[in-house]
Amino acid sequence: MDKNSESLFENAMARYQSGEEASLLIKDFEVITNSSPNQSAGWTCLAWLQLLCEQNNDALRSARIAVKLNAQDPQSRINLSVALLETNSKGVREHIEFVKRALLIVPELEKELKVSIEDGLERKPNWDSLNKVKLWLGL
């Protein structure tokens, strides 16, 4: 990621963490992914924002790219699982199983993923797909 994209990423993340609406951040993450298309973190964040804004087909595309770029990232796998559920697509189980294995190998991930899931449910209460993923992961 170049310096400009990196500072835009950090700025957008800080705005998200301070509670800014997801819809206001999508354009920034589109700029980030366009300028650094091989940076999985940008795609992971973009997919999450798109899911929060019910742009499910776009989220599915972004989440697939994020997983392709970094297949080891549990958050991108969770995003992809939620996007698959939201679009009634197949293939959720393999990603849930991957995250379960990752949690066994690196238990410290659990706190980070719980925080992310709780943030999603706070921003989008009654999010059925995310609640299913949370239940399946035992979080």
Summarize the confidence of residues 18-44 as an average pLDDT.
95
pLDDT in tens, 57-102: 999 999 999 999 999 999 999 999 999 999 999 999 999 999 999 9
| Domain residue limits at 42 | 3-137
Helix (H) or strand (E) holding 2: none
CATH number of the domain enclosing 77: 1.25.40.10
pLDDT for residue 1 is more than 60:
no
pLDDT at 5: 60
Q: Which of 61, 62, 49, 60 is nearest to 16 (CA)?
A: 49
Cβ(74)–Cβ(48) below 8 Å: no
What stretches of the chain show up as alpha helix (H) in DSSP? 3-17, 22-35, 40-52, 56-69, 74-86, 92-105, 109-123, 128-137
pLDDT at 126: 93
Q: How many domains does the chain have?
A: 1
